[in-house]
Structure 1
Amino acid sequence: MAEIKILWVDDEVDLLKPHILFLEKKGYTVDTRVSGTEALEAIEATSYDIVFLDENMPGLTGLETLHEIKEKQSQLPVVMITKSEEEYIMEEAIGSKIADYLIKPVNPNQILLAVKKNLDVSRLVNEKTTSDYQREFRKIAMDMSMVNSYEEWVQLYQKLIYWELELEDVDDAGMFEILTAQKNEANQQFCKFIDRNYPDWFTEGEDHPTLSHELFRKKVVPHLKQDQPVLMVVVDNLRYDQYRVFENLINNHYKKSEEEAYCSILPTATQYARNAIFSGLMPEDMKKRHPNLWLDDTDEGGKNMHEDEFLQAQLKRLGLNIKHQYHKITNEASGRKLVENFKTQKDNDLTVVVYNFVDMLSHAKTEMEVIKELASTDKSYRSLTLSWFKNSPLLEIIQRGQELGFKLILTTDHGTINVTNPSKVIGDKNTSLNLRYKTGRSLSYEDKDVLAATDPSTIKLPKINMSSSFIFAKGDLFFAYPNNFNHYVSYYRNTYQHGGVSLEEMLIPFAVFDPR
Structure 2
Amino acid sequence: MNNINILWVDDEIDLLKPHILFLEKKNYNVTTCNSGTEALEILDEQKFDIVFLDENMPGLTGLETLNEIKEKQDTLPVVMITKSEEEYIMEEAIGNKIADYLIKPVNPNQILLSLKKNLDHSRLVSEKTTSNYQQEFRKIAMDMAMVNSYEEWVDLYKKLIYWEIQLEDIEDPSMFEILESQKNEANTQFGKFIDKNYPSWFEPNTDAPILSHTLFRERIAPELSKEQPTLLVVVDNLRYDQWKAFEPFVNNHYKKQKEEAFYSILPTATQYARNAIFSGLMPSDMEKLHPEYWKNDTDEGGKNLHEDDFLKAQMKRLGLSNLKHEYYKITNLASGKKLASNFRGLKDNDLTVVVYNFVDMLSHSKTEMDVVKELASNDKAYRSLTQSWFKNSPLLEMIQQAQQMGFKLIITTDHGTINVKNPSKVIGDRDTSLNLRYKTGRSLSYENKDVLAAKDPKTIHLPSINMNSSFIFAKSDLFFAYPNNYNHYVSYYRNTYQHGGVSLEEMIIPFVVLSPK
TM-score interval, normalised by the smaller of the two chains = over 0.9
Q: Does 1:451 align with 2:452?
A: yes
1:255-270 equivalence runs, <5 A:
255-270=255-270
TM-score with structure 2 setting the length: 0.97
Which residue of structure 1 aligns with residue 28 of structure 2?
A: 28
Q: Does 1:327 align with 2:328?
A: yes
Deviations 1:464-502 (A, max 9, x none): 122211110000000111111111111111110000000
Q: Does 1:111 align with 2:139?
A: no
1:6-45 equivalence runs, <5 A:
6-45=6-45
CA deviation after TM superposition for structure 1 residue 2, in Å:
4.3
Q: Are the aligned partners of 2:327 and 2:353 in contact in 1 as well (CA < 8 Å)?
A: yes
CA deviation after TM superposition for structure 1 residue 12, in Å:
2.0
- Identity of matched residues, %: 77
Which residue of structure 1 aligns with residue 313 of structure 2?
A: 313
Q: Does 1:146 align with 2:146?
A: yes
Moved more, 163-172 or 351-360: 351-360
CA deviation after TM superposition for structure 1 residue 365, in Å:
10
Which residue of structure 1 aligns with residue 53 of structure 2?
A: 53
Q: Structure 1, unaligned stretches of length 5 or more?
A: none
Q: Are the aligned partners of 1:361 and 1:367 in contact in 2 as well (CA < 8 Å)?
A: no
Moved more, 166-175 or 488-497: 166-175
Q: Are the aligned partners of 1:330 and 1:359 in contact in 2 as well (CA < 8 Å)?
A: no
Cα distance between partner residues in 2 of 1:491 and 1:62: 57
Which residue of structure 2 aligns with residue 421 of structure 1?
A: 422
Corresponding residue SS for 1:281: coil
Q: Are the aligned partners of 1:361 and 1:388 in contact in 2 as well (CA < 8 Å)?
A: no
Q: Are the aligned partners of 1:422 and 1:478 in contact in 2 as well (CA < 8 Å)?
A: yes
Cα distance between partner residues in 2 of 1:464 and 1:152: 35
Name the aligned partner's letter for residue 112 of structure 2.
Answer: L
Q: Are the aligned partners of 1:362 and 1:370 in contact in 2 as well (CA < 8 Å)?
A: no
CA deviation after TM superposition for structure 1 residue 124, in Å:
1.4
Which residue of structure 2 aligns with residue 290 of structure 1?
A: 290
Corresponding residue SS for 2:353: strand
TM-score with structure 1 setting the length: 0.97
Cα distance between partner residues in 2 of 1:59 and 1:398: 49
Q: Does 1:247 align with 2:252?
A: no
Name the aligned partner's letter for residue 136 of structure 1.
Answer: E
Moved more, 2-11 or 206-215: 2-11
Deviations 1:432-486 (A, max 9, x none): 1111011111111111000111111111111112221111000000011111111
Name the aligned partner's letter for residue 260 of structure 2.
Answer: E
Q: Does 1:70 align with 2:36?
A: no
Cα distance between partner residues in 1 of 2:368 and 2:384: 17
Name the aligned partner's letter for residue 393 of structure 1.
Answer: P
Aligned residues: 516
Which residue of structure 2 aligns with residue 129 of structure 1?
A: 129
Q: Does 1:432 align with 2:460?
A: no
Which residue of structure 2 aligns with residue 238 of structure 1?
A: 238
Runs of 4+ in 1 over 3 A off after TM superposition: 358-371
CA RMSD across the alignment: 1.5
Q: Does 1:172 align with 2:147?
A: no
Moved more, 352-361 or 424-433: 352-361
Name the aligned partner's letter for residue 112 of structure 1.
Answer: L
CA deviation after TM superposition for structure 1 residue 116, in Å:
1.4
Name the aligned partner's letter for residue 248 of structure 2.
Answer: N
Moved more, 368-377 or 63-72: 368-377
Pair 1:369–1:362, CA change in 2 (3 A): farther
Name the aligned partner's letter for residue 34 of structure 2.
Answer: V
Which residue of structure 2 aligns with residue 392 of structure 1?
A: 393
Cα distance between partner residues in 1 of 2:190 and 2:366: 32
Cα distance between partner residues in 1 of 2:87 and 2:412: 42
Pair 1:369–1:268, CA change in 2 (3 A): farther
Cα distance between partner residues in 2 of 1:369 and 1:350: 39
Cα distance between partner residues in 2 of 1:408 and 1:391: 19
Cα distance between partner residues in 2 of 1:431 and 1:234: 29
Name the aligned partner's letter for residue 277 of structure 2.
Answer: I
CA deviation after TM superposition for structure 1 residue 61, in Å:
2.1
Which residue of structure 2 aligns with residue 506 of structure 1?
A: 507
CA deviation after TM superposition for structure 1 residue 362, in Å:
6.8
CA deviation after TM superposition for structure 1 residue 134, in Å:
1.1
Name the aligned partner's letter for residue 137 of structure 1.
Answer: F
CA deviation after TM superposition for structure 1 residue 190, in Å:
0.6
Corresponding residue SS for 2:354: strand
Corresponding residue SS for 2:355: strand
Deviations 1:29-85 (A, max 9, x none): 001112222222222222111111112222222222222222222221110111221
Q: Are the aligned partners of 1:331 and 1:359 in contact in 2 as well (CA < 8 Å)?
A: no
